Amino acid sequence: MKVYPTYAHVVKEIGRGNFAVLEGHEANEDLIRWIRFHHLGPLVYYHYPPLRDAFLLDWATSLNRWKVWREARPKLIKSPVPVAVFKGVALGRFYPKPETRFISDVDLWVKKEDLDELDEYLKGEGFRHVMDVPGQRIFRYRGLPFEVHVKFTRFPYPDLKTETILYHLIQWEGNLFVPDKDLSLSLLYLHAYKSMYVKTSFKALWWYDELLLRERGAQPIGGTRILKAANWFASVSERDLRSTLLSSSLLNSLLYYLHGIKLFL
């Protein structure tokens, strides 16, 4: 009987650049499904040609989303207010090829007092307002969601102070900014921690993100609560890396709040 590598081992070896760990496992449908669920399909497609047929759709989807982002970027450069792009798109610049970093949406951040002005501008540039949720306003541009945040987390999770964010933003071009590597790492820890008990669950893609940031000397900022999230991140094991969505159960809802409250204890 063929023995497959554990999923955690695969991620760690991929993180080291050893895609040969996949050799002999091209027919492992469970592993392929797991890689796809954790948004590593485009990365594997790019680095491991024997699995290109399995991940062709992942690669094509990623190419399309990055194309839409590149069409939207000049509009954000000319924004009337400073706007920062973070998470997936911002991290793509650390990847061997941006498209290997799969993006499900584009996350933007603006000061709360600038949201209405940005809203008016984006609508004039072809963005469609979809809905508001606590701490963010969601738009779509050519089918790709754009989430405009004024807060990075929801209750009961702590948010980073605006002063901290502004100090760690780098001007990309015009009025478009991107977090430096330290702020990117802090946001990664906080987002991964926050996502542990929501339907998206924790994804192995963030292990790879952290590796790239750590390789560049990134250090978490934001105080003891971010460090708690960083310590939690280091404790994530293979059993936490699911291959299915979490159910919308009362238990998971309670765990979400308990998980957040632990950062304050």
Please give the share of the chain, as a percent, with pLDDT higher than 70.
Answer: 98
Torsion of CA 23, 20, 40, 30, to 10 degrees: 20
Segment 23-52 mean pLDDT: 91
Please give the DSSP secondary-structure letter assigned to residue 254. H
Going by pLDDT thresholds of 50, 70 and 90, the confidence category of residue 5 is: low
Bridge partners, residue 107, by sequence: 86, 147
Q: What is the pLDDT of residue 263?
A: 93
How distant, in Å, are the alpha carbons of 41, 131, 205, 214 from that of 103? Answer: 11, 20, 11, 20
Q: What is the pLDDT of residue 24?
A: 86
pTM, 2 dp: 0.92
Q: What is the pLDDT of residue 138?
A: 97
Ordered DSSP codes for 151-178: -S--TTS----HHHHHHTEEEEETTEEE
In the chain, what are the domain boundaries? 7-262
**What is the distance of C-alpha 157 from the center of its chain?**
17
Give the N- to C-terminal CA distance of the chain in Å, as an integer: 48
Q: What is the pLDDT of residue 2?
A: 44
Task: Say if residues 232 and 126 touch (Cβ distance below 8 Å).
Answer: no
User: Starting at the edge strand that comes first in sequence, how are the strands of the sheet with 144-149 ordered?
Assistant: 128-133, 136-141, 144-149, 106-109, 83-86, 176-179, 169-173
Alpha-carbon distance of 206 to 163, in angstroms, equals: 25
Q: How many Cα atoms within 13 Å fall on the side-chain side of residue 139?
A: 23
pLDDT in tens, 120-147: 999 999 999 999 999 999 999 999 999 9
Q: Where are the alpha helices (DSSP H) in 78-174?
A: 88-91, 115-124, 162-167
Query: Which amino acid, one-letter code, is at 202?
Result: F
* Residue 188 or 237, more confident: 188
Segment 251-264 mean pLDDT: 94
* Residue 2 or 105, more confident: 105
Domain 7-262 belongs in CATH node 3.30.460.40: yes
Of 132, 167, 136, 131, the residue nearest 151 (C-alpha): 136
pLDDT in tens, 41-87: 999 999 999 999 999 999 999 999 999 999 999 999 999 999 999 99
Task: Say if residues 10 and 39 touch (Cβ distance below 8 Å).
Answer: no
Alpha-carbon distance of 55 to 68, in angstroms, equals: 20
